[in-house]
Structure 1
Amino acid sequence: MSQVLDTPSSAPPPPAPVLPDDDPAALAARHGLTVSGARPTLSAYVRQLWARRHFITAFATAKLTAQYSQAKLGQVWQVATPLLNAAVYYFIFGVLMGTSRGVPDYVPFLVTGVFVWTFTQSSIMAGTRAISGSLGLVRALHFPRAALPVSYALQQLQQLLFSMAALFVILLCFGVPVGVSWLLAVPALALQFVFNAGVAMIVARLGARTPDIAQLMPFLLRTWMYVSGVMWSIDRVLAGHPDLPRIVLLALRCNPAAVYIDLMRFALIDSFHASQLPHHVWALAVGWALLAGVGGFIYFWKAEETYGRG
C-alpha cells in the first residue's frame, strides 16, 4: 500500500467575514482615521488660517515679485499701469466729456479714484482664479483654501502701497498739502482690504465651480467702475439731477466702491470736503467690510471640502 502524506497548504486562509457593524465608517472611527480634506469647524478653520499667516504673506510677496518678472521695466509697471489708466480717463472724461468742470483738484481727484478702484478690481479678478488657477497646489498640499484668495487680496494691497508713493508725489505736485487727515487713509485701506478679501473669497468659490466667471467678471467690474465715481463726482451729478429716484440715489451713495474711494479722497485731498461724503460714511465702510469679509469667509468655508475635486 502506498501512503499519501498530507502536506500543509501554502494558500492563505480565507478572509474573515465582515460583520455588519464593520462598515468603512465604523472602521475609520475605531482606528482614529478622518476623511481627507473634510471641512473643519469654523473656529478650527480660523485657527488653521491664522497658523498659516506667514505662508499667506510669503505667497503674496512671491506672486507680486513674479508678476512683472518677464517685463523689461519690471516693478515699474506697478506704478505705470494705474498712471496710464488715469491719463486715458483724464483725456476721455476730463477733457472730451468735461467731467472735470466744477471739480477742484481734478487730477488728484481722478488719480486717487483710479488707484483705489484698481485695488478692488485687481483683488476681485485675482480671486476668480484663486482656486481654479492653483489646482496643483490645492491637490498636493493640505491647508485652508481661504489662504489663496486672501493672499491674492494681500498681493494687491502690497502693490497699492508700493504705488502710493507715486500718488503722494502727484498730490504734492498739484499743490495738495500734507495734512493730519492723511492718517485716515490707514483705516480706510484696512476696511477696503477686508471688503476686497471677502468678495475675492466669494468669487473664488464661484470660479472654482464655474471657471467661466473669470470671463464674465471684466464686464461686471467695468460697469461697476462707471457707477462708482472714479472719473466723475457723484455729489455734483446728484446735485444736478434732484429728480432721480431715491433708490438710484441710495445705490450711488452707498455703493461700497464709491464709499472707499471717497474716504480716500477725503483723507488725502483738502478740497474734498465732508459734505461730499454720504451720511454715516464710516458706518457704511465698516458695514460693507463686515458684510463682505465675514459673509464671504463663511460662504467660502462651507465649500472647503469640494475645492480641487472633480
Structure 2
Amino acid sequence: ARPSLPEYVRQLWARRHFITAFATAKLTAQYSQAKLGQLWQVVNPLLNAAVYYFIFGVLMGTSKGVPDYIPFLVTGVFVWTFTQSSIMAGTRAISGSLGLVRALHFPRAALPVSYALQQLQQLLFSMAALVVILLAFGVPVTASWLLIVPALTLQFMFNAGVAMVVARIGARTPDVSQLMPFVLRTWMYVSGVMWSIDKVLADQRLPHWVHVLLECNPAAVYIDLVRFALIDSFHASLLPHHVWAVALGWALLAGVGGFIYFWKAEETYGRG
C-alpha cells in the first residue's frame, strides 16, 4: 500500500545516504570504459559549445551585440545540459531500474532524485572548466559568483521535479524516452542557450504572449540567473522582472507538484 505523503517524505529522507551514494556510483561508472574517463564530463559540453559557436555565433551571427559571447554561450550550454540530462535520465529512472525496484523496498522517488543529483554533481565537476574559460576571456571574479548557489539549488529542485513526472510517465510508457530528445531539442532552441532573449524581446513586433513565454521559460530563467551570477557584462537589466520569484515559483511548482504526482503511483512501480 502507498504510504501517506508525510511518511513518504520521512522514508525518502531516511534514504538520503543511499541517494547520494547511488548518484556518485552512477557518475563514476558513466565513463568508466572510456580512455579519457571522467574528462568526458567536461569535454562533451565543451564540444557542444564549440559546434553551437560555429553554427550560431559565426554562421548565423547571433554573437553580434552580445558581450563576452563565448562565456555567455558556454555557461548556457553547461546549465542547459544540467536540465536536459536530468530529464532524460528521469524518463528511464524506473523503467531502466526494474531489477532494483523489484528486489528492494525503498521509496521509488529516490531513483529520479538520485539521477538529478548525479547531473548536479556532473555540472559541478564541469564548472572547473567553465571558470577557466571565464578567466581566460577576462571575466572578473566578483561577489555575485556566490549567487550561483541559490540559482543551482532552485534549478535542481525544478529538474528533480520534472524528472519525477517523466519517471512516472516513462514507467508506464517507455516510448517516452524516444520522444523526449525531440521535445528537449525544441525547448533548448527557445531557451536562449546560444542567443540573447533580451535582443529578441527588443523586437516590438512580437506578440505579447511570446514575450511572456520567453521571459517565464524556466530553462531560460535558470540559465540567465547563472549568467548574471558569473558574467560581469550580463547586467540585471537583461533579466526578466521578478526573476528570482519566477525561479522560486518554478522550483516549487515542479519540485512539490512532481513529487506528489510521482508519489500517487508509488505502489504501481515495478509491476506488470
> Would you say same fold, with TM above 0.5?
yes
Aligned length: 272
In the TM superposition, what whole-angstrom CA distance separates every residue of 1:28-79 from its partner, at most 9, and x where no partner exists? xxxxxxxxxx110000000000000000000000000000001010000000
Matched position secondary structure for 1:166: helix
Between the two structures, name the one with larger relative contact order (CA 8 Å, sep ≥ 6): 2
Rg comparison, structure with higher value:
1
Counterpart position of 1:244: 206
Provide the rounded CA distance (Å) in 2 between the counterparts of 1:289 and 1:274.
21
Give yes or no for the alignment of 1:144 onto 2:101: no
Greater share of helix: 2
Confirm or deny that 1:175 pairs with 2:158: no
Q: Distance in 1 between matches of 2:264 and 2:201?
A: 41
Counterpart of 1:159 (choices 113, 117, 122) is 122
Question: What corresponds to 2:227 in structure 1?
Answer: 265
Per the alignment, residue 178 of structure 2 pairs with: 215
Three-state SS of the structure 1 residue aligned to 2:96 is helix
Q: In the alignment, which residue of structure 2 is the partner of 1:108?
A: 71
TM-score (norm 2): 1.00
Identity %: 88
Q: Which residue of 2 aligns with 1:277?
A: 239
Distance in 2 (CA, whole Å) between partners of 1:159 and 1:238 is 32
**Two-structure CA RMSD over aligned residues (Å):** 0.3
Separation in 2, partners of 1:72, 1:269: 33
Partner of 1:27: none
The structure 2 residue matched to 1:75, chosen from 33, 38, 55, is 38
Deviation at 1:165, TM superposition (A): 0.4
Partner of 2:4: 41
Structure 1 position 112, deviation (Å): 0.2
Deviation at residue 237 of structure 1 after TM alignment: 1.2
Distance 1:238 1:259 in 2: 14
The alpha-carbon deviation at position 252 of structure 1 amounts to 0.4
Equivalent in the alignment of 2:188: 225
Q: Which runs of 5+ in 2 are unaligned?
A: none
TM-score (norm 1): 0.88
Select 2:168's aligned residue among 205, 208, 213: 205
Deviations 1:268-295 (A, max 9, x none): 0000000000000000000000000000
